[in-house]
Chains A and B, each alone.
Chain A
Amino acid sequence: MPFSVSLARLSLALAAAVVLAGPVAAQDAAAPLALPAAEDEGPLRIEITGGQVEAMPIAIAPFFDEGGAAEMAARIQQVVTADLTGTDLFREIPASAHVARPSGFDDPVAYPDWRAINAEALILGSVAVRDGQVTARFRLFDVFSGQPLGDGMQFDAPEAGWRRVAHKLADQVYARITGEGPYFDSRVTFVSETGPKDARLKRIGIMDYDGANPLWVTDDSALVVSPRFSPDGSQLLYTSFGNGMPQVMLMDVATVQSRPLKQEAGTMSFAPRFSPDSRWIVYSREKGGNTDIWQMDVATGAERPLTETAAIETSPSYSPDGRQIVFESDQSGTQQIYVMPADGSAEPARISFGEGSYGTPAWSPTGDLIAFTKRNGDKFHIGVMRPDGTEEKLLTESFLDEGPTWAPNGRVVMFTRQTPGGDGTPRLHSVDVTGRNMRPLSIEGAASDPDWGPLLP
């Protein structure tokens, strides 16, 4: 049971916010924040969607060891730092530059010492390990206003789940300062690729969002492509060539048991996705050379077509409210993006009208954007547009970028980038919805077809 490293049960306890020594008088409202503050002189805030942003300098005081955690405290701090600086929204001020040396987690904060090194935010943390359980506490401070930013919090988890503790902690910092939803404590399913380009071996993996802790849930005996999480992350849909034809499979992640979805002989099925309420699976079904989008009732197995054209319809994706489906069709002669009611009750409306062709639409979990792959000339792009097709924006450009998937907060997109040539290799990359912070994921070997799962509980 490769997945028996079951997700650490993480209890999220609100630590009694200890009163800090004398509330420091609110600083001059026009505190010299290097970042564009939110409207008014509000609290410490990075506006992610606000175009060019300079990384916010933050100080993370060395996490305190509160028993048995000398090494663990450092490890957790390292992951917290990597999460935050990995967004390129935060810049860490190294400990060597710190003036203040707090002696305990509950010490009063020496704000002037942190201001002196131009830290805008300060994180204090403490870690204890007892009986195989790790307990981490943290507080976040707005250095210039001299105020805590939100309550202190405590996280508990089995020791093996220490990375999740770090992600949860970093998620709190990220969410409080950006005002966006958290996403570090999440997982990605993907395809790991080995072997030469003309005889590739593929297997499905699940890893932390940052590439750590990869687990393999299929072996490479059958060609597999495009795994997708169920909304709660407990199941995977994927397409296997195990019987010679592409066929949609459904896997229970906890037991790693798969079963094929019902499939008529001589037809292919692929491109599956769950509806947000997990009641339906939409997928592509090919028969006699023609590919349409079908919908299956998960409970009964009853199926029906949602499109019935002579064109190729594929890559369906639900809106987060479950009411609409975005998909691609080449009925106009080239691949373009269309939106239809989720029950297929009205004609699809085309929403992509730019130059080139568009495919693999993915509706953002926050509902405001649709990410897509665009091909224009000999270049591929990952881009986003509003669900009505307006405000198209290209985030990337390369020889071959494809298949965007959304972070749970709808602000980061992960996709596959393949380099050209005989040794051309696919790798996973991520980019902000603003086009900033393009970066490869640090995982070993070639990988493709990422699907970003939900924020873990």
Chain B
Amino acid sequence: MTGLRIAVAALVLAGLGACTQAPPPAVVTDPYAGSRYTGTLPGGSLPGVTAEDFRRTAGDTVLFPENDAALDGTARATLVRQAEWLKRNGSFSSVVEGHSDEQGTREYNLALGARRASAVQEYLISQGVEAGRIRTSSFGKERPIEVCSDPACQAQNRRAVTVVAPGAGV
């Protein structure tokens, strides 16, 4: 309040002194003046920790037997790698999405996908990943990755996919 009053007073004084003269424009200094591009650093950009890196090095998908949420040796090996990656990259959180094949009813498959996602979540926690960094969801049979109806395709669709993203998640 005081400051404002002083400012007004100053304005009044300036007006009195110079009669109709406008106040002088403020001087603007360009903070970037004189800066310039001086070339690329040797060695390229910083080594990126990305979701792609997770998919490539750990593998984001585990498969399940028919109508089941059991984790076999291959699945557990993948999850061990996922857990190591998540522990190394503490700034990432994850959502485990459970899926089913098309051979089943829609609502049961939603529940089955959730059961699979939860099995993955529990295994990752058992491998030392903080529980708060892993959420789960289920798409049931809504989002197949393979569209054919052969057993080989169905097997690829009975899956849980761990999706990682920087940040704490919600």
Contacts and interface: CB of A to CB of B under 8 A. Distances in A.
Contacts of B112: 312
A172 interface: no
Given A268-B114, A290-B115, A399 B137 contact: no
B144 A288 contact: no
Nearest to A449: B106
B117 A289 contact: yes
Contacts of B138: 246, 268, 286
A360 B149 contact: no
Contact of A226 (B95, B107, B119): B107
B87 interface: no
A424 B149 contact: yes
B137 A244 contact: yes
B110 interface: yes
Interface residues of A, number: 45
B103 A375 contact: yes
Contacts of B149: 399, 420-422, 424
Nearest to B144: A198
B110 A289 contact: no
Interface in B122-139: 122, 135-139
A405 interface: no
B147 interface: yes
A424 B119 CA distance: 30
Nearest to A312: B111
A223 B103 CA distance: 20
Interface in A400-456: 400, 402-403, 418, 420-422, 424, 448-449
A317 to B, nearest CB: 11
From B105, B142, B143, B148, name the one whose CB has the most chain A CB atoms within 10 angstroms: B105
B167 to A, nearest CB: 15
A328 interface: yes
A315 B143 contact: no
Most chain B beta-carbon neighbours within 10 Å: one of A286, A291, A334: A286
A450 to B, nearest CB: 12
Question: Which residue among B95, B108, B137, B144 has the maximum number of chain A CB atoms within 10 Å of its CB?
Answer: B108
Interface residues of B, number: 34
A403 B135 contact: no
Given A268-B138, A288-B118, A335 B106 contact: no
A314 B114 contact: no
B148 A422 contact: yes
A40 B125 CA distance: 73
Contact of A314 (B108, B122, B144): B108
B145 interface: yes
A402 B114 contact: no
A129 interface: no
A318 to B, nearest CB: 16
Given A241-B139, A268-B137, A286-B114, A226 B106 contact: yes
Contacts of A241: 139, 142
Contacts of B102: 400, 418, 424
B90 interface: no
A402 B117 contact: no
B139 A314 contact: no
A9 interface: no
A359 B95 CA distance: 29
A314 B135 contact: no
B105 A315 contact: yes
Contact of B106 (A197, A199, A402, A420): A402
B65 interface: no
B15 interface: no
B105 A198 contact: no
B159 to A, nearest CB: 13
A196 interface: yes
Nearest to A197: B147
Interface in A63-105: none
A422 B148 CA distance: 4
A286 B118 CA distance: 10
B111 A291 contact: yes
B81 to A, nearest CB: 22
B147 A360 contact: no
B104 interface: yes
A223 B141 CA distance: 12
A312 B108 contact: yes
B142 A200 contact: yes
Contact of A328 (B108, B135, B140): B108
12 contacts: A197-B147, A198-B146, A226-B107, A289-B122, A312-B115, A359-B108, A400-B103, A420-B149, A422-B149, A424-B102, A424-B147, A448-B106
Given A289-B121, A424-B149, A449-B106, 14 more contacts: A198-B144, A244-B137, A245-B137, A246-B137, A284-B107, A289-B114, A289-B122, A335-B108, A359-B104, A360-B107, A373-B105, A418-B102, A421-B147, A421-B149
Interface of A: 196-200, 223, 225-226, 239, 241, 244-246, 266, 268, 270-271, 284, 286, 288-291, 312, 314-315, 328, 330, 334-335, 359-360, 373, 375, 399-400, 402-403, 418, 420-422, 424, 448-449
